[in-house]
Amino acid sequence: MLTNIFDQPIGEPVLDFVPGQLPDIEQLVGIYTIVEPLNVDRHFEDAYTFYGPDSPKEQWTYLSIDRFENKEDFRTYFEGMADSKDPYYLAILDKESHKVIGTFSLMRIDPKNRVVEMGWVLYGPELKHSRVATEAQYLVMRYVFDELHYRRYEWKCDSLNAPSNQAAKRLGFTFEGTFRRAAVYKNRSRDTNWYSMLEEEYQAMKAKFDNWLDPANFDDQGYQIHPLNTDY
């Protein structure tokens, strides 16, 4: 363990450290997926199908907002999303159809310390439990570490939100603990689970993502042959 001149334990040195850049994505293109910044003209109509009145109410339990009952209210909100720099909202497109089937964001962006969080994840029905969803997460993760060279990537969710907690673990995030009574939303108390991924942990996951996303890992019905965390 390193110590200073006062014999106090200190952290490992970070040599030649400089602040990072803010995210500035044009397009992230994968095998099945395209991720690009939210755009009202291109993305509004598709997004309304899973933000609007046809969206299942149970999808909104763990979000601080509710589904939108009319296009006018959603357009106002969506325009604010598209203009926002933090959260920095992104559209998830099916590469074959170019249809928007989900949105998420990079948020709590901290270029000074090279830390950023994935959040505001909302998937349409076509995206849930799909290889497109996994690839979309991987494309942004890869951008965070390989392009921005951030040191820490975070995931936070309601401790009771089982699908979000499971997704974080499956994608390779490490559980760090629970912040008790961290927030109040929808007149409920929220304990928040914190997860993170460090640069070296991402490097260890890259081959697993690449192997899992290979078309050869899916049968004729589109079902995976090997799960994501399998060692090939």
Q: Does residue 223 lie within any of the structural domains?
A: no
Structure tokens at 58: 């149970």
Range of the domain at 133: 28-217
Q: Is the pLDDT of residue 67 over 60?
A: yes
Q: Is the pLDDT of residue 232 over 60?
A: no
The pLDDT value given to residue 65:
96
- Domain containing 177 — which CATH number? 3.40.630.30
Number of separate domains in the chain? 1
Cα–Cα distance for residue pair 36/205, rounded to 1 Å: 23
Q: Does residue 19 lie within any of the structural domains?
A: no
Contact call for residues 175 and 76 (beta carbons, < 8 A): no
Q: Does residue 61 lie within any of the structural domains?
A: yes
Q: Does residue 101 lie within any of the structural domains?
A: yes
Q: Does residue 105 lie within any of the structural domains?
A: yes
Question: Per DSSP, what are the bridge partners of residue 224?
Answer: 218
Q: Is the pLDDT of residue 64 over 60?
A: yes
Mean pLDDT of 44-69: 96
Q: Does residue 5 lie within any of the structural domains?
A: no
The pLDDT value given to residue 128:
84
Q: Does residue 6 lie within any of the structural domains?
A: no
Cα–Cα distance for residue pair 86/75, rounded to 1 Å: 19
The pLDDT value given to residue 231:
61
Residues composing the chain: 232
Strands 152-158 and 174-185: unpaired
Q: Residue holding tokens 């291109």? A: 42
- The percent of residues in the chain predicted with pLDDT above 90, rounded, is 94
Average pLDDT of the chain to the nearest whole number: 96
Mean pLDDT of 67-89: 98
Residue 74 confidence class, pLDDT cut points 50, 70, 90: very high
Q: Does residue 132 lie within any of the structural domains?
A: yes
Q: Name the more confident of 11 and 231.
A: 11
- DSSP, res 52: S
Task: Tell how far CA 23 is from the center of its chain.
Answer: 13
Of 130, 129, 44, nearest to 91 by C-alpha is: 44
The pLDDT value given to residue 202:
97
